[in-house]
Amino acid sequence: MNSFFEYFTDIYRAVKSLLTGMKVTGRYFFSPWEIVTQQYPENRKTLKMYDRFKGEVIMPHNEHNEHRCTGCGICETACPNGTIEIIQAKIDMPDGKKKRIIDKHIYHLGMCTFCGLCIKACPSDALAWGQEFEHAVFDRSKLNKTLNQPGSSIIKDIVE
């Protein structure tokens, strides 16, 4: 008699536990306002990333096509992966001396691990995080970017 009773209690407990779980899924089924999915490619126009989002390393330029990079190379040594490559150029100053300036600030996006050490290390705040995150390209060489724009120059008040 006892085992007979246990048999039915077990069935009752099993069905009850399954129904408790079904209650949760059922509740979400009938409350569509609790759905949190984002329709990503469709909402691209309204999609706003957070301000601190680490998309890629960029070099901000002002309206006169001027940046803050002196080409000192501290970011190059701070980078753990050899992502940044700095090519310097020499120009003749009016007083006859030669001065080193930045020629190309090459950034290999494909090697970047987004640790932020270059931006932290930069003494003249020339680098910043960009918001762009759709980096997929068909050709790997497109991931090698030159951060200083062609024809750009350094802002006058930056002291080395």
Partner 1 sequence: MKEVIHLPVQNVEEEEYHINMGPQHPSTHGVLRLVVSLQGEIVKSLKPHCGYIHRGIEKMCEKDTYPQIIHLTDRMDYLSAHINNHAVCMLVEKALEVEVPERVKYIRTIVDELNRIASHQLWWCSFGMDMGGLTCFFYGLRDREKILDIFEESFGSRLLHSYYTPGGLMMDIHPDFQKNVKAFIKYFRKKIKDYDELLTGNIIMQLRTQGIGILSKEDAISYGVTGPSGRASGFACDVRKHHPYGVYDKADFKEILGTKGDTFERYMMRMDEMLESMKIIEQLIDNIPAGDHTAKMKAVLKLPAGEYFQRVEAARGELGVYVVSDGNKSPYRMKFRSPNFSNLSVLDHISRGCKIADLVAIGASLDYVIPDIDR
Contact set with partner 1 (CB under 8 A): 13-14, 17-18, 20-21, 23-25, 36, 50, 52-54, 78, 80, 113-117, 120, 129
- Judged by CB, which is closer to partner 1: 106, or 130? 130
∠ Cα 10 11 13 (to 5°): 65
CA dihedral (86, 137, 57, 112) positive or negative: negative
Nearer to partner 1, 21 or 151 (CB): 21
**What backbone phi and psi angles, to 5 degrees, belong to 35?**
-75, 135
Of 79 and 154, nearer to partner 1 (C-beta) is 79
E strand segments, 34-152: 56-58, 66-67, 84-92, 98-108, 128-130, 144-146
Q: Which is nearer to partner 1, 110 or 116 (CB)?
A: 116
